[in-house]
């Protein structure tokens, strides 16, 4: 039975994060049916997911990448920064080596694609709980290809620019000067061989760097 309390539940305790309600419910039901796994918390945005992991202290945290407020990679990185012992599994539609590289850098123990059978996810939960790493074989071979050339600030400003924010908007949001923001965007554009910020964002997103 699922629970959102901090009490101990039988089996491997899991928190799930997925912004699509139907997918979230389906994943929870499939994991519960696998046996030996208890879904103790669910979240539909990254901020709520972080709060639930910190309060419920599950054995395993399963998350999508793109979610409102914080991405799954952002949550994983924050858990790593806080030295939280919960194991992280990324489950996503993005078969991109750039995303995998960032997931591994953020301390993720697993990276699976959503088109895999449900039993693969349950087995991955058991494996990472035992201390193993589980990477989708389609991506494992190419995971150490071209390195992400962007710094965190360049990625952050480029992502906001791609969403329509002006340099002034970004500067106010990040407490930076407009000149500094323009420098970050210029560096990102140059590194990616793009002609403008929109093209740079498209290239970075295609590689899984954004």
pTM metric for this prediction: 0.65
- Which tokens is 78 given? 């924050």
Give the range among 22-26, 42-46, 141-145 with minimum mean pLDDT: 141-145
- Phi and psi, residue 148, nearest 5°: -65, 120
167-192 pLDDT per residue, tens: 999 999 999 999 999 999 988 887 77
Same structural domain, 58 and 135: yes
From 49, 57, 42, select the one nearest 4 (Cα to Cα): 42
Band of residue 5 on the pLDDT scale cut at 50, 70, 90: very low
- 1 found inside a domain: no
Please, what's the b/e burial string for 91-124 (b: 16 or more CB within 10 A of its CB; e: otherwise)?
Answer: bbebbbbbbbbbbbebbbbbbbbeeeeeeebbeb
Can you give the residue range of the structural domain that contains 191? Answer: 152-207
Q: Is 169 exposed, middle or buried (0-12, 13-18, 19+ CB in 10 A)?
A: middle
Domain C-terminal end among 140, 168, 192? 140
Asked if residue 127 and residue 71 are part of one domain, the reply reads yes
Query: Looking at 91, 109, 140, which one is the last position of a domain?
Result: 140
């Amino acid at each position: 039975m699922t629970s959102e309390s901090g009490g101990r539940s039988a089996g491997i305790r899991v928190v799930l994060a997925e912004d699509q309600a139907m997918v979230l419910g389906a994943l929870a039901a499939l994991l519960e049916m696998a046996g030996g796994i208890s879904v103790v918390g669910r979240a539909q945005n990254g901020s709520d997911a972080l709060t639930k992991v910190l309060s419920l202290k599950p054995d395993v945290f399963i998350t999508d990448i793109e979610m409102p407020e914080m991405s799954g990679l952002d949550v994983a990185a924050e858990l790593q920064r806080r030295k939280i012992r919960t194991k992280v599994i990324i489950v996503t539609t993005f078969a991109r080596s750039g995303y995998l590289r960032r997931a591994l850098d953020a301390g993720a123990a697993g990276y699976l694609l959503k088109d895999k059978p449900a039993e693969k996810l349950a087995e991955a939960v058991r494996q990472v709980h035992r201390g193993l790493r589980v990477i989708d074989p389609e991506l494992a071979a190419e995971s150490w290809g071209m390195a992400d050339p962007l710094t965190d600030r360049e990625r952050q400003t480029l992502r906001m620019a791609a969403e329509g924010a002006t340099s002034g908007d970004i500067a106010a949001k990040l407490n930076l000067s407009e000149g500094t923001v323009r420098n970050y965007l210029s560096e990102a554009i140059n590194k990616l061989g793009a002609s403008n910020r929109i093209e740079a964002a498209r290239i970075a997103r295609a590689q899984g760097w954004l």
